[in-house]
Amino acid sequence: MRFEPKIVGFLCNWCSYTGADLAGTARIKYAPNIRSIRVMCSGRVDPAFVVKAFAEGADGVLIAGCHPGDCHYQEGNYKALRRYLLLKRILPEYGIEPERLRLEWIAASEGERFAQVVNEFTEQVRKLGPMNFKDSLFESMKNDVMIHEEHAPQGTGEQR
């Protein structure tokens, strides 16, 4: 049976999520491997979310935001770019191929492009094969990600 990778997509509300929506309303077919999470801005994507996604078993992570200069929040996508470049260096430390992470600029009008990016990325991750972790590493990763929740003092009322 063919390997079907699980891909988590973090899509910004204004451009990429709308672009994905357009791909849907335009009935454009694309790989069903992507599971989308809507965030208001690609700048909301905490690198910890990406690590968390890999720890939870994602085979690839796509971050998609507005084209440079088009950000609804002016510069959020530039922040995303910085974090993306950081992640590209950190992921190999966990033994994760940096090719499993991708950042794309997809505008609200680019439904076709969204479909094309998803298809391409799915094929790319399919070639890389499933994530293969040793359990110990997996556990250490989980610890890294959970740091905020574990250290948060109890009973403050608001939980992050």
Binding site for other proteins (CB under 8 A): 6, 8, 14-15, 18, 35, 37, 39-41, 43-49, 52-53, 56-58, 69-76, 79, 83, 107-110, 145, 147-149, 152-153, 156, 158-160
Judged by beta carbon, residue 85 or residue 147, the one nearer other proteins is 147
**DSSP readout, 112-157?**
HHHHHHHHHHHHHHHHH-S----HHHHHHHHHHHHHHHHHSPTTSS
- Least separation, in Å, of the C-beta of 154 and other proteins? 13
Judged by beta carbon, residue 74 or residue 140, the one nearer other proteins is 74
The two three-digit tokens of residue 131, written as one number: 């994530």
- Least separation, in Å, of the C-beta of 101 and other proteins? 14
Judged by beta carbon, residue 109 or residue 140, the one nearer other proteins is 109
The two three-digit tokens of residue 18, written as one number: 């709308």
Element (H, E) at 79: helix 76-90
**Alpha-carbon separation of residue 93 from 17, 55, 130 (angstroms):** 31, 14, 18
- Least separation, in Å, of the C-beta of 112 and other proteins? 9
- Using the Cα atoms of residue 45, residue 28, residue 112 and residue 22 in order, give the sign of their dihedral: negative
- Least separation, in Å, of the C-beta of 139 and other proteins? 16
Judged by beta carbon, residue 104 or residue 110, the one nearer other proteins is 110
Residues 128, 88 contacting (CB under 8 angstroms):
no
Q: How far is CA 86 from the centre of its chain?
A: 14
- Least separation, in Å, of the C-beta of 96 and other proteins? 15
